């Protein structure tokens, strides 16, 4: 494929996943189903019961669970197989900035700084997809996952 802003977002998602898990993107020393970090972790990123199992154990629960959930959800969207479904870098920055510094000192059960809910919507011209804040009461508090598609 070609190098584009959307492929950069995918690459950022891989780096974010490496930071969250403490694993390399490709690790031939692991069992075959775990050698590709993206293939191993992506199914767990949008499952609140499983996502905490992939967080780097060296963090020893010294992080905000909510911040970890939001970062995992962001990684999930960055790693979307459909490039048009990936967020814009500006949306990624907007999502991560409130999490900055909020995870290390809070402990695992303390809530993190909230970020806006997001929805994915299609722009009718050009079929571009991007994430935008939404204040819809139908969206769960703090949700980063898409809750409305137009």
Closest to 19 (Cα-Cα) out of 87, 143, 124, 104:
104
SS3 per residue for the chain: CCCCHHHHHHHHHHHHHHHHHCCCCECCCCCHHHCEHHHHHHHHHCCHHHHCCCCCHHHCCCCCHHHHHHHHHHHHHHCCCCHHHCCCHHHHHHHHHHHCCCCCCCCCCCCCCCCCEEEEEECCCCCCEEEEEECCCCCCCCCCCCCCCC
Task: Answer positive or negative: Cα dihedral of 139, 140, 143, 147.
Answer: negative
Which class would CATH give 5-134? mainly alpha
Look up the pTM and report it: 0.67
CA angle 120, 122, 128 (to 5 degrees): 105
Instruction: Give residue limits of the domains in the chain.
Output: 5-134
pLDDT in tens, 36-86: 999 999 999 988 889 889 999 999 889 899 999 999 999 999 999 999 999
Whether residue 28 is predicted with pLDDT greater than 50 in this model: the reply is: yes
pLDDT in tens, 87-143: 999 999 999 999 887 643 343 333 333 333 333 332 222 333 344 444 444 443 443
Contact indicator for 91, 116 with CB cutoff of 8 Å: no
Record the tokens describing residue 132, joined without a space. 């935008």
pLDDT band with cut points at 50, 70 and 90 for residue 2: confident
């Amino acid at each position: 494929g070609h190098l584009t802003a959307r492929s950069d977002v995918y690459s950022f998602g891989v780096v974010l996943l490496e930071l969250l898990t403490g694993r390399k993107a490709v690790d031939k020393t692991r069992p075959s189903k775990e050698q590709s970090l993206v293939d191993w972790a992506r199914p767990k990123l949008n499952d609140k019961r499983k996502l905490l199992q992939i967080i780097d154990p060296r963090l020893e629960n010294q992080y905000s669970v909510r911040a970890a959930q939001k970062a995992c959800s962001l990684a999930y969207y960055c790693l979307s197989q459909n490039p048009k479904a990936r967020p814009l870098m500006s949306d990624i920055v907007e999502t991560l900035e409130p999490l900055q510094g909020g995870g290390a000192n809070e402990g695992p059960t303390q809530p993190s700084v909230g970020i806006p809910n997001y929805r994915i919507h299609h722009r009718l011209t050009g079929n571009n997809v991007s994430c935008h804040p939404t204040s819809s009461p139908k969206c769960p508090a703090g949700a980063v996952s898409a809750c409305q598609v137009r």
